[in-house]
Amino acid sequence: MRIEGKVIVITGGASGLGLAAARYLVQEKGARVAIFDLNAEAGDKAVNDVGAEHAMFVPTDVSNEESVQIAVAAVVSRFGAIHVCINCAALPTLCKVLGKEGKATPLAKFAQVTAVNVNGVFNVMSKCAEQMVRNEPEAGEERGVVINISSGAAYEAQIGQVAYAASKAALLGMNMPAARELGDVGIRVNAIAPGLFLTPMVQTLDEKIVAALKSQIEAPRRLGDMREFAHCCAFIIENAYLNAHTIRLDAASRLRAR
C-alpha cells in the first residue's frame, strides 16, 4: 500500500515509539495521522510536533468501546477514511503471580493490563477494520493494514512481567486468524515485537542501568533508534505480500530472567 495521503490511526501515539511512527509517516511518507491517547497535553504537543495540517489528536481510552467509536468517527469526519491502524498503546505494569509474603496477586491487577493491551487492541482493530472495508481497493487488492505492537516479552519475559508478557503473546495469536478473516476484504494484519529502544523513558535511566541493558543486546550492541521502529511500520504497510507475520525488531537480544 502506498503511504502518501493515507490515513493512519496510531494508539499510544502521543509519546515514545507511537510518536516516532507518527512523525516519520507524516514527515517522511506524506501520510495523515490520527493519534489516540489519554494524555491530552501530550497529544496536543504531538500534533504540533508532527504537523497540525496532517495530524489530529483524539483523547481515547482504547479499553472503552464507546470512546473508540467516538474517536473513529472523529477521524472519518476530518480525514474521510481510515487505511492503517497501528496499535502501540499498552500498560507495562509489573505483575507477579505471588506478591509480598507469598500472597496471590489480585486478579484486578492482571485484568487491568489485559484490558488495555489485549481488549484495547481488538477494540481499535475491529472498529478501524469496519471503516477499512469501505475503502476502494488499491491495485485491486488492499483496503487496509493493521499493525499490532507486541514485544520481545511475548517470547522471553522477565520475572514480574507475567501480565505484560501474556498480553503481548496474545497479539501474536491474533495474527493468523485475523489475517485469514480480514484478507477476504483486503486487510492485512501483522505485528512487530520490539526489543530495547532508546525511548524518552529509557533516556531518563541511570547510565549503569542503560549499560546493563546494552550488554544483553547482540548486534548491533546498542539500543534501537526509534526511527528504525517507524521505518519497520512503513515497510509493513508498503509490502503487500507481508501478512500474518511478527517481525522481531530487537538486534537478536534475549533478555535474562532479571
Q: Identify the CATH number of the domain in which residue 233 sits.
A: 3.40.50.720
For residue 204, the model assigns a pLDDT of: 79
Helix (H, G, I), strand (E, B) or coil at 17: helix
The answer to the question of residue 256 being in a domain is: no
Cell numbers that stand for 201 in this block: 523513558
Model pLDDT for residues 33-65, shown as the tens digit of each residue: 999 999 999 999 999 999 999 999 999 999 999
Model pLDDT for residues 223-247, shown as the tens digit of each residue: 999 999 999 999 999 999 999 999 9
The answer to the question of residue 258 being in a domain is: no
> Is residue 6 a contact partner of residue 85, using CB atoms and an 8 Å limit?
no
The answer to the question of residue 237 being in a domain is: yes
The answer to the question of residue 257 being in a domain is: no
Catalytic residues: 164
Residues of the chain scoring pLDDT < 50: none
Residue among 9, 75, 14, 8 at smallest CA distance from 43: 14
Cα(59)–Cα(43) distance, integer angstroms: 8
Q: Report the number of distinct structural domains present in the chain.
A: 1
Helix (H, G, I), strand (E, B) or coil at 187: strand
For residue 125, the model assigns a pLDDT of: 98
- Which CA distances in Å does 56 have to 8, 85, 113, 186? 10, 14, 26, 26
The answer to the question of residue 43 being in a domain is: yes
For residue 100, the model assigns a pLDDT of: 87
- Which CA distances in Å does 147 have to 95, 104, 118? 26, 34, 14
For residue 184, the model assigns a pLDDT of: 96
For residue 29, the model assigns a pLDDT of: 98
The answer to the question of residue 212 being in a domain is: yes
Q: In what order do the strands lie in the sheet with 32-37?
A: 55-59, 32-37, 7-11, 84-87, 144-149, 187-194, 246-249
Cα(114)–Cα(193) distance, integer angstroms: 17
Residues of the domain holding 46: 7-249
- Which CA distances in Å does 13 have to 47, 85, 138? 10, 11, 26
The answer to the question of residue 47 being in a domain is: yes
- What is the model's pTM? 0.96
For residue 88, the model assigns a pLDDT of: 98
Angle at CA 4, nearest 5°, toward 45 and 26?
Answer: 15
The answer to the question of residue 77 being in a domain is: yes
For residue 200, the model assigns a pLDDT of: 83
